[in-house]
Amino acid sequence: MSAPTSNPTSGGRVPAAGVRFDTPETGATSPGDQGFDALAAWELNPKVALRPEPFGALLYHFGTRKLSFLKNLTVVGIVQSLADHDSAEAALASAGITPAQRPLYVQALTTLADSGMITRRAA
């Protein structure tokens, strides 16, 4: 028996030169690709619904049809309060996030920004 000749995660598609099906495309230009800046004003994307759950919350993006799970009630509270603060940094401080905890919460917000679940608020 011979070894497989195609990437099993590609669904049988043959990639064009330099294209991989198992990794996200880089170089895309969408509002979320500006990078997360904790000093900027952020809000829940208007195309996203947040549904609180006992474990945290579900986020559903109606544009991309992406579903995300927030399994930390503190992150849920921060996301819900982003629109009430001048910056994400202010939302973190309001939630009582300590300097030692800050990197974990900034990473969570960065992931949400990269996926388009939160967006920069217009100035």
3 DSSP 8-state letter: P
Any bridge partners for residue 61, and if so which?
48
**Any idea which residue has 């992406």 for tokens?**
66
Whole-model pTM over 0.85: no
Q: pLDDT tens digit string along 47-57?
A: 999 999 999 99
CA atoms of 54 and 69, how far apart (whole Å): 12
CA atoms of 116 and 86, how far apart (whole Å): 19
Cα→Cα distances 39→27, 57, 82, 104, 120, Å: 24, 25, 12, 16, 11
Give mean pLDDT, residues 118-122: 94
Residue 34 pLDDT exceeds 70: no
The pLDDT confidence band at residue 33, using thresholds 50, 70 and 90, is very low
Fill in the amino acid letter for 75: V
